[in-house]
Structure 1
């Protein structure tokens, strides 16, 4: 397994090689077979000469540090082909090739609801984030957020105070917990839940990393609850990404006099679900959360989705904004005619709708 993991780390270390490119490469060859390919074969996979050289002659310091990091108790590196890699996240466009996890990686396969919001939230907003998280975990739903100050931190705290499980996705490496004020909280989270990052463990926080973190937060979750958000905030980025990924977006209504509620109120105007209780959220997210609530989940969450939803990869890439057939075919790496047949079946089942410019997810889907 260490040999396979090393080749995954080599792929992750190749410069300017994103998740979509990696997915296409491994659909042709397992990572450990890449070293047996000729340069011409690697070039045919889309790799430049610089990238081929980086793959063949990686920075051993980076590889060895990662392998040593994963040897420590409670630390895990999950590749896209690892059975513990979360199914929902795997379905998004450009899924992270590797996830670095501290804590229990099995919780990533559980039904998750993301709670996000302002770093400068009002006392009411902080109280609501805590209360909603506490009630969600009482219904066996994992609360996922970004460990930021404000709403994120209160959501994690509410889940822990409720005796439940929470997942924190970081915009830094797991050895560089940010913000520093939440290091103790991070230690508590990994006792029962998990800390997650796609970055090398020693990576410092950078502004460019946080939108990438946000796509993982929404990608892991069946839905995103925005508690409070200003008009220009990372929470709105998370909500937009959730819509693109076909996830439900919920928002708590706030006072028109609260500048930190203008973004969440705007989401409601744009079609996000206005919710006032956990029950309203759970009734909408449907099958996955419902199975957890009833304590009758004999299958893994991934199996539930596969059993309940046809063409899950395609469905995961149809969101609230229209996407044309050609784009969906490219994302799913399927022929256009095959995607059209799948979309027709999804439309007949009421899961997607044809609109000018392509297809969108319906409320039911």
Structure 2
């Protein structure tokens, strides 16, 4: 479903996610046009000032243009109240899930069983190899791969998933009309094996803040998260912290001698992240599969799954 009037409201100053949720839940869709044409009526629904009313009126043409671009590019607009809105996201984030998702691709993938990846853009060669091997094992079990479409770890996870006949979900840190197809990704895309999604207004620019914010969507779509390499600050570190706060199983690659790009991995293991080790440099994902199947927290997955073998040796 696409609705240019909801886009017009979403673009306007003073109408954030909380206000947008209230509008969607209180005002019937057939009346959104009335709100956009007579925005002073918004004061009956949300707290707003004169600049909000002015902003709604000023965004009419921009919303119309974006609406046409979205139609041309086969972009779907999924409301929190729609049946196609991913149930896993609602369960994980509760009232904090975004009111609207913009999607391009196979939206049915948003309701599949998935595992998320987070990791450094400057991931080591060993980390890239481990990421690819993990993604390959997941898709062999019909588990979708979710990540943030950034350089390094994210792209390696996406590419390995679709190269090996699996499915992947790209969670964007910009508007759905602003992303571009990376060469290594585009070569393997089919109409069924992927979906791009964004919680931001359609022509929003990439920003550090958006990149941090979209972490919750990656986590929320996933039954478990795999942290490949994290420094002591930044987006991956934030994603690891948020995963633990949400009590989602967090699996951490356990290197014998972590490089700088993985210097925070031991920290996350000490905080309750479950170590992923391996044999002959192949990641052992037994605990991940157990957690996905049983919907367990990371503590239970440690107690009831097979003992891992060797550390990943970085030398």
**TM-score scaled by structure 1?**
0.71
Tell whether the 8 Å contact from 1:102 to 1:190 is kept in structure 2 after alignment. Answer: no
Unaligned regions of 5+ residues in structure 2, if any? Answer: 278-283, 302-315
Tell whether the 8 Å contact from 1:112 to 1:141 is kept in structure 2 after alignment. Answer: yes
Pair 69,243 (structure 1): closer, same or farther in 2 beyond 3 Å: farther
Pair 189,173 (structure 1): closer, same or farther in 2 beyond 3 Å: farther
1:107 partner SS: helix
Moved over 6 A (4+): 37-41
Q: Does 1:227 align with 2:228?
A: yes
Which of 22, 25, 42 in structure 2 is aligned with 1:24? Answer: 22
1:46 partner SS: coil
Pair 132,10 (structure 1): closer, same or farther in 2 beyond 3 Å: same
2:290 alignment counterpart: 283
Which of 131, 134, 146 in structure 2 is aligned with 1:144? Answer: 146
Unaligned regions of 5+ residues in structure 1, if any? Answer: 289-350, 352-360
Which structure has more RCO (C-alpha within 8 Å, separation ≥ 6)? 2
Task: Please state how far the C-alpha of 1:19 moved relative to its aligned partner.
Answer: 2.3
1:33 alignment counterpart: 31
Q: Does 1:130 align with 2:132?
A: yes
1:66 alignment counterpart: 66
**How far apart are the structure 2 equivalents of 1:174 and 1:56?**
21
How many residue pairs get aligned? The number is 290
Task: Please state how far the C-alpha of 1:96 moved relative to its aligned partner.
Answer: 2.1
**How far apart are the structure 2 equivalents of 1:174 and 1:183?**
18
Tell whether the 8 Å contact from 1:177 to 1:186 is kept in structure 2 after alignment. Answer: no
Task: Please state how far the C-alpha of 1:126 moved relative to its aligned partner.
Answer: 0.5
**TM-score scaled by structure 2?**
0.81
1:283-330 Cα shifts (integer Å, max 9, x gaps): 013346xxxxxxxxxxxxxxxxxxxxxxxxxxxxxxxxxxxxxxxxxx
Task: Please state how far the C-alpha of 1:165 moved relative to its aligned partner.
Answer: 0.4
1:14-39 Cα shifts (integer Å, max 9, x gaps): 32433233323433333443566797
**How far apart are the structure 1 equivalents of 2:235 and 2:75?**
28
Pair 55,362 (structure 1): closer, same or farther in 2 beyond 3 Å: farther
